[in-house]
Amino acid sequence: MQWQKSSFSGGGEGNECVELARADDSLLLRESDAPTRILTVSRDGLAALLLQIRGRTGKCR
């Protein structure tokens, strides 16, 4: 499985980021400092989460 680091991640040693990977019909999210704890979400679910974050902070790209 190939994990992709968020473009908003810090430039440290890799322990300050959110990573995303693709599974069959879902997307997987994990935090790099807890790589065994994986959240499985649908594409629609992730889109809704990002829209909520954008609405609250106004800083999501």
Question: DSSP label at 31?
Answer: E
Cα–Cα dist 25/10, whole Å: 29
Say if residues 19 and 3 touch (Cβ distance below 8 Å).
yes
Cα–Cα dist 41/59, whole Å: 22
Is the predicted pLDDT of residue 61 greater than 50, yes or no? no
Residues 6+ away with beta carbon under 8 Å from 42: 25, 26, 27
Q: Which residue has the higher pLDDT, 59 or 6?
A: 6
1-54 pLDDT, tens digit each? 899 887 766 655 655 688 999 998 899 999 888 889 999 999 899 888 888 888
